[in-house]
A and B are shown apart, each in its own frame.
Chain A
């Protein structure tokens, strides 16, 4: 099916929203049930779009960005498969083919996501420079540039599918060598350490290092969840504060040398 210019512009706007939302994760424009429906709507394939969205949504139910880990990319999967569905012109009958295309694209999209998240380091360094000058306007603009790059992450592949044929784009996206994607995924597991190192350098003092050691051992050797660990951490902090106070206010009260030592910090 041939699309007119207005339909193409609408598709690219939806692709942009889906791309930005892929990282923001707020309004959910990147979820298949929304993105596929919208693309179906602007191209006059509403029903097929809704059905594709619903089917893909069932597959993508558990995809989520946890911590620093990046999930399979629902945004690219939904946008690309809907465009392929529309171009194929088979309507509802094309849903199965579109889904078969969507899954490898979701994994390829994950790779693009990691590239953008590395590029964004440049963005926050520009924000640092703007903060140095007290230029809040520039900080706003740079942050939005970050969002725009995330949008383009989906707009560019979408435009490529619209211009070229779908097979070429799919071969390009899924044809990335295994050593690159696997190696990047392994690197992605390690680079989060740099972020934690930055904060630890900021907070660490002789007084609080023991709590780091306790935290590490408990996390390593038990199955306690992060909420559980949070409660333990609060309890430890309260105990420490109470002990260091009672040593101070009591003075010679109970002759607690440890309390005095803690109080001297």
Chain B
């Protein structure tokens, strides 16, 4: 191996530019996978001259991926570095690359959503909107300019940061650092996936299991509270002291399940999907099946 194939700054910029279209083919099966592969195409074109290597690279980047569209940039940077090493003969396997992607996507989405969607956009949006409500054209112009400057600067510099860090990881092959990272990434990946299943898959069973009439002494006596704010204050005090606001305690199937552990149904659904996928059932079939279950379940009052 005489020359190392390197990704130039121009190649990396082409990737960063394409990453802006990451969510273009967002789908319920593998989410951002199409956009991820689309983003990496300039790098894959440069790195893999051999036709089979190229196909393998394209296929491994069509796997499931989903994160906040801007914080994908550092993950892309690390992936570029790992792919570069692989193309130059280093032993970076598919699991390592997928492990790094999955391990980073959850926590980074946890940063991107609050920072961009719930802090920066509301602030810039409110700034622009305040001017715009008065009919001032500066409102939209300011919002558009500031947002896009911050956004693209973030994408480019964090991608470069990821690329530099990724190169350092891959340089230290003899120290077994990469093997450690591979294993560490799959540990982190599994840990985070469990949390994502628990927090982001939502199922809510509506049926009422039992309705129990409570002892009148444990219920707030709404009819005989003092009038006005004094009554409101007393009601809040009573709620705080554990009095019930209604004469009946309603237990739904969901609250029974939550007593076992919240998220049990999403977990079982995920395990069932894994099992179906292992049985070579098409993911699309499962997805349409679940939409049908949702509609039927709503009609019969299950959800």
Contacts and interface: CB of A to CB of B under 8 A. Distances in A.
Interface string B271-294: 101100110000110111011111
A50 B58 contact: no
Given A192-B28, A197-B277, A205-B186, A53 B201 contact: no
A182 B294 CA distance: 8
A216 B29 contact: no
A194 B66 contact: no
B144 A195 contact: no
B23 interface: yes
Contacts of B284: 121, 125
Given A127-B34, A193-B266, A136 B196 contact: no
Interface in B13-35: 20-31, 33-35
A73 to B, nearest CB: 14
Contact of A213 (B113, B194, B296): B194
Given A25-B69, A26-B151, A196 B291 contact: no
A135 to B, nearest CB: 9
B197 interface: yes
B135 A190 contact: no
B113 A64 contact: yes
B24 A37 contact: no
Given A54-B129, A142-B34, A133 B23 contact: no
**Residue of B54, B133, B184 contacting most chain A CB atoms (<10 Å):** B133
A204 B118 CA distance: 34
A28 B128 CA distance: 13
What's the interface size class on B, roughly? 35 or more
B226 interface: no
Contact of A230 (B62, B107, B113, B262): B107
The secondary structure that dominates the A interface is helix
A46 interface: yes
A214 B266 CA distance: 16
B184 A66 contact: no
B132 A51 contact: yes
A233 to B, nearest CB: 4
Interface string B215-229: 000000000000000
Interface in A207-222: 207-209, 211-221
B187 A132 contact: no
A185 B190 CA distance: 27
Nearest to A48: B135
A118 B113 CA distance: 23
A54 B107 contact: no
Nearest to B198: A219
Contacts of B66: 67-68, 195
The listed residue with most A CB atoms (<10 A of its CB), out of B137, B188, B278, is B188
A86 to B, nearest CB: 16
B67 to A, nearest CB: 9
A55 B135 CA distance: 10
B30 A190 contact: no
Contact of A34 (B31, B98, B144, B196): B144
Interface in A144-163: 144, 146-147, 150
Contacts of A184: 291, 294-295
A238 B292 CA distance: 43
A182 B297 CA distance: 10
A130 B147 CA distance: 35
Interface in B55-93: 55, 58-59, 62-64, 66, 69
Interface in B131-176: 131-137, 139-140, 143-144, 147-148, 151
A50 B122 CA distance: 17
Interface of A: 20, 23-28, 31, 33-34, 37, 46-47, 50-51, 53-55, 57-58, 60-62, 64-69, 92, 117-121, 123-125, 127-128, 130-134, 136, 139-140, 142-144, 146-147, 150, 179-180, 182-205, 207-209, 211-221, 225-227, 229-234, 236-238, 240-241
Given A33-B143, A51-B135, A118-B288, 14 more contacts: A33-B132, A120-B25, A120-B28, A140-B41, A184-B294, A191-B287, A196-B197, A211-B194, A215-B193, A216-B267, A220-B261, A221-B261, A221-B262, A229-B107
Interface of B: 20-31, 33-35, 37-38, 41, 44-45, 51, 54-55, 58-59, 62-64, 66, 69, 95, 98-99, 102-103, 106-111, 113, 117-118, 121-122, 125-126, 128-137, 139-140, 143-144, 147-148, 151, 180, 183-204, 261-263, 266-267, 269-271, 273-274, 277-278, 283-284, 286-288, 290-299, 303
Top 9 closest A-B pairs, CB basis? A230-B107, A54-B132, A226-B110, A187-B294, A183-B295, A146-B25, A215-B194, A64-B117, A189-B202
28 contacts: A26-B21, A53-B140, A54-B130, A64-B113, A68-B28, A68-B200, A121-B29, A131-B58, A139-B34, A143-B24, A143-B25, A179-B299, A183-B295, A185-B294, A187-B290, A187-B291, A190-B294, A194-B286, A195-B31, A196-B201, A198-B29, A207-B183, A214-B191, A216-B195, A216-B198, A218-B195, A229-B107, A233-B188
